Amino acid sequence: MNEDDLPHTGGCLCGALRYEARGEPLYAGNCYCADCRKASGSGFIPFMAFSREALTFSGEGRTYRSRAFNGGDAVRNFCGICGGLVFGGELDISDSFTLYAGSLDDPSRFHPTVAIFNRDRPAWATLPPGMTVFETMPG
């Protein structure tokens, strides 16, 4: 079986909150916005976007809401046991979700192509070569 045919699987540090994503991501990249930096404790959050139909979640998560760039809510989901940040989006409502690539079981499956919120990127957070760069969200 080809690696592209295998699902993307992952979850939190303790394994209580898990996901399986089928197919290839809609897009993948790094978000350098201030909220993602604070949530991750790093210079950015690497993410992969999938449609709701491509995803299955298991386990109990907790959510944290903050104001998004578009004026709505940014919803981040994390494990209530270990605190591991796992995915963005609102279950039963969102049409697509962002899986945080640091939660992948096999991190080699992450292939970023876009950088968003470059305007907020710290100088010490370098851009990988070949990325399409957006100062905020793509048009």
pTM: 0.91
What would the two tokens of residue 59 be? 């386990």
Digit-by-digit pLDDT tens for the chain (139 residues) are 566 679 999 999 999 999 999 999 999 999 999 999 999 999 999 999 999 999 999 999 999 998 877 777 889 999 999 999 999 999 989 999 999 999 999 999 999 999 999 999 999 999 999 999 999 998 7
Fold of 3-133: glutathione-dependent formaldehyde- activating enzyme (gfa) (3.90.1590)
Distance between CA atoms of residues 14 and 83, nearest Å = 9
Distances (CA, A) of 85 to 89, 103, 124, 131, 135: 12, 8, 23, 24, 24
Report domain extents, the chain: 3-133
Distance CA 88, CA 86 (A): 7
